[in-house]
Every structure is written in C-alpha cells, then in structure tokens.
Amino acid sequence: MGWLTHGGELAFGLKGDRASHSDVIWQLIVEAVEVIDKTPDQERRWLTSGQRSGGWNMVGMSRAELILIEKIRLLSAMKPFDGNAKYAPQRDDTDRALGVLAWLRWCKTARLPHRLVKAAVQLARSGDGEIVHKIYCPNRKPDRRNIHEIKTRTIGFVLSGLKKDLGIVPGDGITFKEVHQ
C-alpha cells in the first residue's frame, strides 16, 4: 500500500487532478525501471548476468597502463577521479523497484507475455516508440495506438493481479484500498 501511495504522489506531481489509477501504476513502473537502470554495476550484479564495467581499474590492466591513463587524464586537464557522480539508491527505492517490477509477472496471461513485458519496460525506460514497435508488434505499422495498447494492457494485468492476489483495488481519487476476500 505504501508503494501505491508513493505512486499516487508521482502521478499527482505529473498530472495533477487529472491523474488516474492507471497513471499511478505506470509511474511506479517508470520509476522502478529508472532506479534499476541507475543502480551501479556492483550493486546490480546479482540482478543481471553478462558483462560488467570495471571502470579504469579493470581486471587485466597492468600498473603501467593505469599510470599511463592517469597521466593522460592529468595532461588533458582532468582532475583525478573526475567523472560522473555516483548514484546510491536508498534501500526502500530498490525494494520498491524490485517489487513493482515483480508485478509484471501478472502479464504472463497475455498472448505473447515476453513481448508485452519487454515492450512495457522499454517504453518506461525511454518512450522511444520505434524500438517499442519492433519489440511488441514487428509486423504491424507503427501507430500511437500500439503504444497506448501496451500501456493499457500492462496496467490492466497489474491491476487485475493486485486485486486477485493481494486484494488491493482502486479507491477514491487515486488511492487504493484493501478488500478482504
């Protein structure tokens, strides 16, 4: 319920009085994808598999190579350790993000669930319609209705799952309430 309250604040901040329950769910998904994407590789290593960045001090670099890189940085008028600021998500943010992304499991009843989930995550990540169309419906002509369909179906499956599995239903305004089954 706390996550949904937070989502209500996000949706209200974005759309004001025009915010709906669908906006609450979608804003939580967008924020969850953003939090996971911003999480540094070291904290995210247990979430994903594949190659990871080692930064400048990568495995296999000799001490001479590290000194040469640092010398080049100094000659280029770069300060030592000059780079992007480190993002350290709060524990609650990460827990909420993982929990919200777990809600996407309710999309498994869709016709092509893997396409729907991948398209929804990509849409939440970048909003780039061209990529989303290639994932979700590669044989259809790109159309803004497809984007609306992805959002609507994803939100519908999540709302249905919240109701069926957790007993949480939309309440007044953009709030949610628990019903005892």
Q: Residue 13 pLDDT > 70, yes or no?
A: yes
Residue 102: give the domain boundaries: 2-39+89-178
Task: Answer yes or no: is 66 within a domain.
Answer: no
How far is residue 152's CA from residue 142's CA, in Å, rounded to a whole number? 17
List the helix and strand counts (H, then E) for the chain: 8, 2
The number of folded domains in the chain is 1
Bridge partner list, 170: 176
Q: Is residue 67 part of a domain?
A: no
CA angle 27, 32, 34 (to 5 degrees): 95
Q: Name the range with the highest mean pLDDT among 35-49, 146-160, 167-181.
A: 146-160
The answer to whether residue 50 sits within a structural domain is no
Task: Give domain status of residue 120, yes or no.
Answer: yes
- Look up the pTM and report it: 0.70
CA distance 143 to 149: 10
pLDDT tens string 120-141: 999 998 877 788 888 888 888 8
Q: Token pair of 3, please?
A: 């996550």
Residue 152 has pLDDT above 70, yes or no: yes
Nearest to 150 by CA among 180, 108, 120, 105: 120
CA nearest to 3, candidates 158, 160, 111 = 158
d(CA 179, CA 181): 6
The string of pLDDT tens digits covering residues 105-119 is 999 988 888 888 999
- The whole-number pLDDT of residue 52 equals 46
Q: Which amino acid is present at 40?
A: P
Question: What is the percent of the chain with per-residue pLDDT over 70, rounded to a whole number?
Answer: 80
Q: Residue 168, SS3?
A: strand
